[in-house]
Structure 1
């Protein structure tokens, strides 16, 4: 009687001890790894801790499964469940490996540098290929799990053989998954846009925040989010301010009267730029770009290191130029002119009305 109770209990205790030992070993290894300050160790701990923890626990349980005092049918069900868990966890671990590679490249090539064109190009490729890889890993993992069942093994083989086609299922609702995948590959290879690029799209100014295998997330200047399908960027024209570099030329237009002293405004613009912290000292100019029947248009051109700085510089120059005109040349601000010419000997309107009344 005691043997019938003790044997199953001992089996369960052995299984628990195996799982606890695996988790303890995992905890000790990651405790040592977390004490280091390297980027590689930090990325490994952040991404692989959970999947490896579960994988070691499942492997430990599978190794001690034969010593369990249970029926063969129950042991087969448990073995099948553990095998499915291990396959799924391996897929999770491989996905974590892609995350580790992404983090290492982001640490090696940060995008917060002033000239970050090469870093943005590399990280864009990595993010797109990572998204496609995750979809492919999911299809392969599901196929491998199906192949553990003899009755539906053929279905798993068919799904595995068509893994490239199955990855095309991911995409935006109402859009062709094939078009999005091809667009993603085009963006990764030809790079019409990159991460952290400044775009004008649908009349909105924003910065590329994320690129997935289905859409692009653009953060608008007022903190709104614009989600755009990938196929949009290969089918329609877009305005990319940072395609070849982060530096940019900014312009400010001011309308003034024809009496405006252009040379004085040009000297004032030079002083404003010399005092500004937003000007990168590369280029500047002031030109008359238009002349209408009432005003002339002065265009101030100046360079800035990036689009955000250019926006601040434009606002600063515009405000100070308007203040300069208001203070020193108020007569040169736009205004309407009218010339009244009185012809000698012609009766005025009042005199004409009086003579008409006298005749009546």
Structure 2
């Protein structure tokens, strides 16, 4: 018994000393290397646990005797499997962190870097899940009963897979959607998107949901399957530079050319403008106003928003001070009176409103108007002498009988 205790104590102390020495060496090297710094930070504890469990298993295998020995070895074996999975996951995290550290996102054009960050982040989560599942399966396989059950389960894997897929359809759909998003380049970390009529930045992408940091510091949580089923706007998929509009409804007397020159002069002295686009156009001239649209550009969405507000405020102030007549206004004007012929001048006994020319009628009053009358009303039917009655003074025109009083009779 004393030999067993001494062997156990000695093996554990040796394992602790070796791991401590290795940790100090790795931490010293980590001052100059990010990879070793990550090893010293993430892999020290799981490596210590694995070393101690290996020492315990060695001492039990060499010096331990008795009925409790198989149970103790089984327990230590299970703990060693779990500790090994922990160490493997830590090493994968260290490798992924070292890869991310080499790819900078604090540059002007970081589209590729954000894509790699998104993919590595999701791959990290997938690898941790896979390692955990494999560790749990390895632990179950150490039990003879579970090994026999596992053989029978493999025989009916198709049925169980169908049942599991049906039961976890939504969860699996989000998981597959997360993997597809990571490698399809449709959505990345730090992308500026518009979802559910909200503008924000992609803060985190997991296997099941996406966190969008809205402009007012709220967080919008959406399932990953949402981005595969619902259209959304991605403002930074190819580049971060954007165009924005400033629209003003102004009076018809607005000096458009002066407005165009004033906007360019204002943008040239503003550091929010990237110097690419400065355009002023009249995009609408219907009703009481004309719509003037100013198109400006900026390097990212935040600067563009501020630039649009600054440009709008500047143009409004310039119009008020320099051209107040160009501001929106509603005019009320008396209509000219129509000329009325005296009664009886047309032989019909009533007044007639006459037009000053023939350009105000579509039908009639011109050769083209007469052709339009023929096209839409049919040929003009003249009254023939045979259609005139002798007794009642009736005239038949177009199938109707017209009496002396001018009334139509069918």
TM-score (norm 1): 0.82
Q: May I ask how many residue pairs the two structures share in their alignment?
A: 334
- Of 36, 43, 49, the match for 2:44: 49
The answer to whether structure 1 residue 89 and structure 2 residue 83 are counterparts is yes
- Of 76, 88, 110, the match for 2:70: 76
- Of 238, 244, 255, the match for 1:250: 244
- Of 214, 223, 233, the match for 2:217: 223
Corresponding residue SS for 1:72: coil
| Contact 1:47–1:96 (CA under 8 A) maintained in structure 2 | yes
- Of 267, 273, 281, the match for 1:279: 273
> Which whole-Å deviations, capped at 9, do the CAs of 1:244-269 have from their partners, x for residues lacking one?
12221122222222222111221121
> Which whole-Å deviations, capped at 9, do the CAs of 1:212-233 have from their partners, x for residues lacking one?
1111111111121111111111
Match of 1:32 in 2: 25
Q: CA–CA distance in 2 between the matches of 1:98 and 1:162?
A: 33
Compute the displacement of 1:206 (Å).
1.1
Report the structure, 1 or 2, having the larger helix content: 1
Q: 1:251 to 1:26 in 2, by over 3 A?
A: farther
> Which whole-Å deviations, capped at 9, do the CAs of 1:138-163 have from their partners, x for residues lacking one?
11110001111112123456779999
Please say which structure displays the higher CA radius of gyration. Answer: 2
The answer to whether structure 1 residue 314 and structure 2 residue 308 are counterparts is yes
> Which whole-Å deviations, capped at 9, do the CAs of 1:254-298 have from their partners, x for residues lacking one?
222222211122112112211111222222211112233122222
Corresponding residue SS for 1:209: strand
Corresponding residue SS for 1:91: helix
> Which whole-Å deviations, capped at 9, do the CAs of 1:16-47 have from their partners, x for residues lacking one?
44334323332332233223232212222232
Segment of structure 1 superposing worse, 333-342 or 238-247: 333-342
Compute the displacement of 1:164 (Å).
12
Gaps of at least 5 residues in structure 1 are 1-7, 344-360
Ranked by relative contact order (alpha carbons within 8 Å, sequence separation 6 or more), the top structure is 1
TM-score (norm 2): 0.73
Q: CA–CA distance in 2 between the matches of 1:289 and 1:341?
A: 29
Match of 2:405 in 1: none
Match of 1:302 in 2: 296
Segment of structure 1 superposing worse, 30-39 or 48-57: 30-39
- Aligned ranges 1:69-148 → 2 under 5 Å: 72-148=66-142
Match of 1:15 in 2: 8
Gaps of at least 5 residues in structure 2 are 338-410
Corresponding residue SS for 2:22: helix
Q: CA–CA distance in 1 between the matches of 2:134 and 2:146?
A: 15
Match of 1:3 in 2: none
